[in-house]
Amino acid sequence: MLMKANGVKGEQVSTDISDVVDSIDCLAEPLLSHCSQLSDESLISALAEGASWAMESLYQRYSGLLYSLTYRMVTDRYVTEELLQDVFLAAWRHAASYTSRLGTVRSWLISMMRHRTIDYLRAARCRSLLKTMPLEELESDESVTFPDVWDEVWRLVQSAQVR
């Protein structure tokens, strides 16, 4: 596609749109190489301040790792992509809550991905259990319809004491 632009003195200058895109890419290359040299903590700090360019660098660094770990657990490409999107959205929203003394950005992202994947697998297991049980059995089994909250609280108290 050819664009026509008037020069300073009314001259006709013909510029191909691909030349304009190439010149923009050339301007962006130093910024992208600078982003690849920034530490993860610097990128998270920038992300916490609202810098959207930092998300692209984090995504480039960790999406492959997070995707492969999750795909091994889920074995469904669509679900893995959804979980990956959820984790990076959570990283965007909660970047300000990241604390380097508790661990690296890498471990923070892996931990978020692991927890989301486990939550998904638990929900999927529960859904499949509900689909396979007859309605009469569901109605008579109170543990399915009314889970014991106190058992869950007790498990949480015990796990907190172990830590």
d(CA 88, CA 84): 6
Q: Which domains are delineated in the chain?
A: 38-142 (1.10.1740.10)
Q: Which two tokens stand for residue 30?
A: 């130093």
Q: Which two tokens stand for residue 131?
A: 């689909």
Contact between 80 and 89 (Cβ < 8 Å): no
pTM of the entire structure?
Answer: 0.59
Contact between 19 and 5 (Cβ < 8 Å): no
Structure confidence by residue, pLDDT tens digits, 95-149: 999 998 989 999 999 999 999 999 999 998 887 766 666 656 655 655 555 566 6
- Cβ neighbour number for residue 150 with a 10 Å cutoff: 8
Of 144, 152, 142, give the one whose Cα is nearest residue 128. 144
Q: Which two tokens stand for residue 142?
A: 């109170």
Structure confidence by residue, pLDDT tens digits, 28-45: 444 445 556 899 999 999
DSSP helix/strand/coil, 145: helix
